[in-house]
Amino acid sequence: MARFMYGPLDMITLAGEKVDIHIMRDSPSGEWTFLSTEMTDKTGRVTYTIPDDKALGYGLYPVKMVVRGDHTAVDFSLAVVPPKTECVVFSIDGSFTASMSVTGRDPKVRASAVDIVRHWQELGYMIIYITGRPDMQQSRVLAWLSQHNFPHGLVSFADGLSTDPLGHKATYLKNLIQNHGVIVHVAYGSSKDISVYTSIGLRPKQIFIVGKVSKKHHSQATVLAEGYAAHLSNLLCHGGSRPAQGNARMVLVPRGFGHNASIRRRSVLRRSAKRTTSFPLSSGPSLPPTTTATDRRCDKL
């Protein structure tokens, strides 16, 4: 599912427009394969289900949706993973920023935060970034992750301005667990995220918290009082962390956010993917040149 919006606050919907959907089966240097042409509804949304005869094997696929009328486009990644894929979750603001919001002028990254994410990625875990921020901030947030060389992962934003950002995070993670069989191995965030992680069944030893905490939080989570550098040393010790189990680590190739198309246009996108095993080729209208592009709002399973 994708939603096309325009304007600084995403106030204008692109309704009743044709959108061509393309996918790259052999990333990163493969050819674009046409999937379908769909029409946006009155809310600017496009919904498309990949049919069985075009089903995909496990992997991470670049997808491009191009508006027929003006050739503006949205680029994103579609993850097709086996059941019981293990992941590590990071709350963007709670886990990474040491000073200001990621939308501020000079947001500083917590020391060794990138190393922690990279450690789990190299062990074969799928990385998931969550935030309660509205999707209209996606371009700046994704650019910030890319600027600081964070490993690539699926990114979830709230669908517009939300009065319950923590509820959004919990709902997103519960959907991955209940409907897609994803297993959350450990999760990182601030004290505000403890309730989110507890609601999906994580134990205190699976919840890592940085920043200011109260005494009660010490019994609800593992507080990283000495920071990420000391935590990384513990993870690297014998028995401190283990490789991801299952076949997902064979199909999720480690990479950074710079692998995706540059972020130029604001849009909103959500995807739903189920397990598939075949990947026949198909053909259709050629891919037109695009005048603008964006990374997706969120890379959802």
Q: Which pLDDT score is estimated for 160?
A: 66
pLDDT in tens, 130-143: 988 777 777 788 88
Three-state secondary-structure class, residue 164: coil
More confident call, 72 vs 299? 72
Hey, where are the domains in the chain? Answer: 2-80, 86-249
Q: Please classify residue 42 by burial: count the beta carbons closer than 10 Å to its beta carbon, then call 0-12 exposed, 13-18 middle and 19+ buried.
A: exposed
86-249 matches 2-80 in CATH topology: no
Strand ranges inside 55-148, DSSP E: 59-67, 73-80, 86-91, 126-134
- CATH, domain range 2-80: 2.60.40
Q: Which pLDDT score is estimated for 162?
A: 66
How far is residue 262's CA from residue 39's CA, in Å, rounded to a whole number? Answer: 25
Q: Which of 2.40.33.10, 3.40.50.1000, 1.10.10.10, 3.40.50.2300 is the CATH number of 86-249?
A: 3.40.50.1000
At residue 69, does pLDDT exceed 50? yes
What's the pTM? 0.79
How far is residue 98's CA from residue 131's CA, in Å, rounded to a whole number? Answer: 16
